[in-house]
Amino acid sequence: MSKKRRRRAPRDIGNRGVGAAPPAGANRDLRDSGAHRTIGAQQLSPLYRYAIILSRGSLFGQVLRRAGLAYDDETAALAASPLGMFFYNQRFLFFALGFLYIVALRVAAAFTGAPKTRTTVGLIFVFWLTAVVITLLAHKRFIRKVASHMEQTPSSDFPPVFYSYVVFDSVLVLGLVLLASWQFHVDLHYFAFLLLANTIVYCACAGAHVSSRRTFAAIPVLLLIFIAALLIVTKGMRNDLFVAFRDIGPVLGMAVVAVMAVAIVSAVRQREQKLMHSQVEMLGRLEVDLGNIPVKPEAKVTAKEQFERRLRVALKRLTTIDNPFGYRGVRIWFVDERDENAAYLLPGPFHGVKSINVDVSALQASPELLQSKGIRVVQNSRELPFLPAPISEDSQIAHESAAYVPVLANGRLAAVLTFYGLPEDPGTSHHQETFLHSVSAIIADALVQADVRHSSQATETIDALFHFESLSDVLPRAAEVFMKSTRAEACLIATRAANEDTKVRIVAASGFRRKTRDFEFSGDAVARVATENKLWVAFDDEIDADVRLRLESLHGRPVFSCLGVPFSASGPGSGLVLLVNSEGRAPWFSQNDVNLSRRLAHLVGRLIERFDRMESTEASLKLAQHREKDANEARLHAVSLATQIQNNLMVMTHQLQAPLSSMRASVIRLRGKIQHPDSLRYLEHIQGLVEDSFALCWGTVATFAKDAGTDTSIDLQDVDAMPELESLAARMQKTNARDDLKFEFYAEPDFPNIRIDRFVFTSVFYSLLHNAMKYADKNSRVEMVCGFEAGKAALKLKSLGEPIDPDEREDIFQMYKRGRVVTETGRHHAGVGLGLWVARQLLKEVEGTIDVEVSNRLSIFIVRCPIATSGGQA
Amino acid sequence: MSEKVLWLDNDTAYLMPFVEELEEQGFFVTVVETAAEAEEHLTAERYDYVIVDVMVPTKTAAEEAVYTREQTNRGYRTGVVLWRRLGKKLLEQNVGVLILTQRLDQSIRDELTKEGLPSQNFARKFQLSDPTALVDRLKSLRKSSARTS
């Protein structure tokens, strides 16, 4: 047959038969379920079913189990090799059927008169028995060998453990034939065909071990033994050697053809199985190589770069010289859609054939290419559709077979795989076709995953920026993320000062060669991205000349494409992210770049918003802290001032006591020396005023001193309250010029003396009387009643005048507190609000209390204090 | 021979009505403004009555050397120290001693009472309103101390 290679037209495998299911998902379906569907739908032939039964498990074991014998023939290890199990069961069947044959032969011998029938049956039985016994004896050794082989080579390969049985069986059969012929003159020459059967079995074993040449070398030897055996046993019957050879010839021809056929079929099947096995293994590795690529945010290598590295390794593995796939070179071309009207093929990683099309830049993809979804295999790589002929240092490649495999992701052409350098005719192997579909599907899945990972990595990196403390640290990093995750050569982030502003100012940039700080765009295409809150994608001539000039002046390089993405922070169109691309392999922005940039820009908006809020919160916090500090300082100052005032008041009132005391003593002396009534009246009035002042001073200093923690002395004395009150009221009427007031005094019968410090008594009632004189209505009556309440003396002072609000009953006893009638009307403004507070504090010192009861304009001040123990009486 | 009164008080101007009354009643009154002076007088001659205001401040550094800041609570209570130095001796000599305290000096009063000064020897400074009453008070002091001795 001529070896000349026949040129074929490129054929679209995808349009034929099983391969006509181009989408990636469909490819996977075909691979995963189609094959199973095919097998499941087939009607199994009885022969195939028999083969399955024989190769699934030990028949011997089954028979024993059915017979109720608990014997395990320990062939579990052999179950991994269907062919091995088949031969094991075949031997068992042979022995079983042999036994039935001997029984049948014995029955036939009983009904025939042929000579030496008993001898013949006996001989056969002896040899059968010998074979069975030796097989059983060698079983343990056989099992050990199987287990050892399976341990070393855990695969479904045929184990090389049957050769010794072939030799043993051959020797046994040969022995039977020769012994029967020479010793017993029994003609068993047809048993020599068992030798032939044994040889064929051996051939099947040898075919299964295609790698071993020695096993094949044994085949002629076995054939020679078979021929020799036939010649020897038939010599007696055919004295003529010619006749013997004449009879042997056809038998020999049949034997050679049978042996060769079995050996070759077995070898081919074994090779196919290995090929399939290694291809499935290769697909598994491809899936592992391209799947589960760990991605860390902020890693130096992007998920896409990582994917391309892995892809390079995977393609290298696919095209390794001793691979079962056969191709020597491969290149992937990524489909890149610049816009709706233009798509390009970008050369990706390659391997196998040195520098295939290494200088090729982006190739414009024709609509036919984008629509082409089937695998094509050509005999010559120059005939690959849509692609230029490969330029390679390997000149042989042009004359070898090549394959064009589209990679479809989500129904769109995502990439194209081109395989080169298959030295043989690719043929129409269904396996090859399925394998290519599978490779394409795995790469398509990996491409989709890589895109997702790439996008996640970028968004996670931006997310991580939310933990930073300052916007000035964050924005340059965000610009770098844009550059790293898109095709941009430079990136800038610009913001608007206010929503009305038509200008945008650069706040961060990366990749620009000139200084961008405080650079502004006003009213141009860049600014409009923010002001109109609109995406801007422009390529080459689509960029305004002046904008291009400005961008090129910043970038220091030609600018071929721009991508402006608006973001919203405090409001829509707060700013934009502008990406620029210069000349290069693909100087435009892909749809993936646009989609990813939109997501990232949204995050940048959130980032700016967050930091704005933080700044505003921090400013508010600082202001609040500042105000709190001021308030604290003011409070401390007020407290200090109040304390100072209190101290000053205390010192002043304390120091006033000395001259007042001296003045009082002087007046008293003077009153003893002067007789004139007018002078005496004046002196009495002066003494009254001095006493009032003294009471005022003493109460204040004593209470303040107590309030400041100084221990004051109390001299409890028995005081007859009523005359003291009368005297005090009379004096104060004069000193306060309230002659209009009428004082009435009433004491309950047996009202006793009270136990009180005299100074406290004077000071308390001075305050109460002074109050009454300030607020009592003109010409009203002031009643002073001495009675009892709950075992205590209760001295009541009743007056009609400016009403006290019932809600203020307690308030008026607090320091510096005055009733509303004073604070709101301005009436009776004299005083600072200390009198009633002083009265209550002093009474506490003597275990007394003071309260007020009010009813319209009537006020009743009730002073309770202990009764004198001496029993003195008013 | 008139009885002699030594009065220790730094507010000498306000003592006038009392001093005049005492002198009218036949007492010879010597007013001193510092404890050191009082100690000097008491060491040099015998007095029948001594009136001591406990809160008399020091005036000179020489005085501070004797009446230290620690003893006198930063120089204020020289009257207390004077009493501690000479009080017992004066009582033994049947000198009528009147210790003047103010409302705020309760703690001093408690201390001196613990140290053996009878309560009738105390008077509140501003409680002395009638000068005649002071004379009576002094006389009663000598009588009671004579009874005690």
Across A23-27, A269-273, A419-423, B83-87, least confident range: A23-27
Looking only at the bridges linking them, the beta strands covering A401-409 and A376-378 are: antiparallel
- Choice among A190-199, A526-535, A689-698, B17-26 with the minimum mean pLDDT: A190-199
Farthest-apart Cα atoms in chain A, separation: 200
Q: Per residue in B14-28, pLDDT tens?
A: 899 999 999 999 999
- Asked if A276 contacts A429 with a C-beta cutoff of 8 angstroms, the reply is no
ipTM over 0.85: yes
Token pair of A413 as six digits: 């052409």
Residue A752 gets which letter from DSSP?
B
Q: How far is CA A738 from CA A259, A558, A696, in A?
A: 153, 104, 18
What is the per-residue pLDDT for A535? 93
Closest C-alpha among A758, A748, A750, A718 to residue A866: A718
Interchain pair B14, A659: CB under 8 A? yes
Q: Is 80 exceeded by the pLDDT of residue A546? A: yes
Pick the residue with more confidence: A15 or A663? Answer: A663
Facing B107 at nearest CB: one of A664, A672, A711? A711
Average pLDDT (A631-648) is: 87
Whether B17 sits inside 8 A of A659 (CB atoms) is no
In angstroms, the CA A238 to CA A532 distance is 112
The closest of A807, A838, A830 to A820, measured between CA atoms, is A807
Q: Residue A702: which of B14, B103, B129 has the nearest Cβ? A: B103
pLDDT score recorded for residue A271 = 67
Residue of B nearest to A710 (CA): B104
Indicate the residue of B13, B103, B129 with minimum beta-carbon distance to A712. B103
Range with the largest mean pLDDT of A255-264, A339-348, A673-682: A673-682
Alpha carbon separation from A851 to A270, A281, A774, A839, A863 (Å, rounded): 117, 102, 18, 10, 7
Tell whether B13 lies on the interface with A, counting CB pairs under 8 A: yes
What does the pLDDT read at residue A391? 61
Average pLDDT of the segment spanning A319-342? 78
Min distance B5 CA to chain A CA atoms (Å): 19
Q: Nearest Cα to B51, choosing from B106, B2, B93, B8?
A: B8
Among A308-322, A555-569, A618-632, which stretch is predicted with the lowest mean pLDDT? A308-322
Portion of chain A with pLDDT greater than 90, in percent:
13
Residue A39's pLDDT is 29
The predicted structure's pLDDT at residue A863: 93
Burial pattern A192-231, b for ≥16 Cβ within 10 A else e, equals: bbbbbebbbbbbbbbbbbbeeeebeebbeebbebbbebbb
Structure confidence by residue, pLDDT tens digits, A331-389: 888 988 887 778 888 888 888 766 555 556 777 888 888 888 888 888 777 777 777 66
Say which DSSP state B56 is in: -
CA distance B88 to chain A (A): 24
> What's the confidence (pLDDT) of residue A267?
67
Out of A559-573, A718-732, A743-757, A822-836, which region has the weakest mean confidence (pLDDT)? A822-836
Q: pLDDT value at position A442?
A: 92
Output the CA–CA distances (angstroms, integers) from residue A383 to A279, A319, A764, in the order listed: 26, 20, 123
Report B:20-49 residues touching A (Cβ under 8 A): 20-21
Q: Which residues of B touch A665 (CB under 8 A)?
A: 17-18, 21, 128-131
pLDDT at A812: 87
**Which of B11, B124, B131 lies at the smallest CB-CB distance from A669?**
B131
| Chain A residues with beta carbon closer than 8 angstroms to that of B107 | 711
Query: How far apart are the C-alpha atoms of A53 and A62, rounded to whole Å?
Result: 11
Q: Looking at residue B118, what is its pLDDT?
A: 85
DSSP string computed for A238-303: ---HHHHHHHHHHHHHHHHHHHHHHHHHHHHHHHHHHHHHHHHHHHHHHHHHHS-----TT-SS-H
Mean pLDDT is lowest, of A499-513, A855-869, B132-146, for: B132-146
> What's the burial of A771, exposed, middle or buried (CB within 10 Å: 0-12/13-18/19+)?
buried
B128 touches chain A (CB under 8 A): yes
B132 to A759: CB separation less than 8 angstroms, yes or no: no
Bridge partners, residue B32, by sequence:
B8
CA A797 to chain centroid: 81
Element (H, E) at A789: strand A781-789
Torsion-angle region of B105 (φ positive above 0: left; ψ -120 to 50: alpha; else: beta): alpha
Average pLDDT of every residue of chain A: 79
Q: Does any CB of chain A come closer than 8 Å to the CB of residue B60?
A: no
Residue of A nearest to B9 (CA): A658
Q: How confident is the model at residue A418 (pLDDT cuts 50, 70, 90)?
A: confident
**A761 contact residues in B (CB cutoff 8 A):** none
Residues of B with Cβ-Cβ distance to A759 under 8 angstroms = 103, 127
Q: Supply the pLDDT for residue A40.
A: 32
Whole-number average pLDDT of chain B: 85
Contact A665 B125 (CB under 8 A): no
pLDDT in tens, A25-77: 333 332 333 332 222 333 445 666 676 777 778 888 888 888 888 778 888 77
Contact status of B92 with chain A (Cβ, < 8 Å): no
Q: Return the number of other C-beta atoms located less than 10 Å from residue A267's C-beta.
A: 19
Tokens of A749: 């019968």
From B129's Cα to the closest Cα of chain A, the distance in A is 5
Q: Is A108 helix (H, G, I), strand (E, B) or coil?
A: helix
Question: Which of B22, B54, B101, B104 to probe by mutation at the A interface, max A CB count within 10 Å?
Answer: B104
Which residue among B14, B109, B127 places its CB closest to the CB of A662? B14
How far apart are the C-alpha atoms of A223 and A7, rounded to whole Å?
Answer: 43
Q: For the residues A788-807, what does the mean pLDDT come to?
A: 86
pLDDT at position A799 is: 92
Q: Which residue has the higher pLDDT, A847 or A326?
A: A847
Give the residue among B50, B35, B58 at the shortest CA–CA distance from B89.
B50
What is the bridge-based pairing of β-strands B28-32 and B4-8?
parallel
pLDDT at A443 over 80: yes
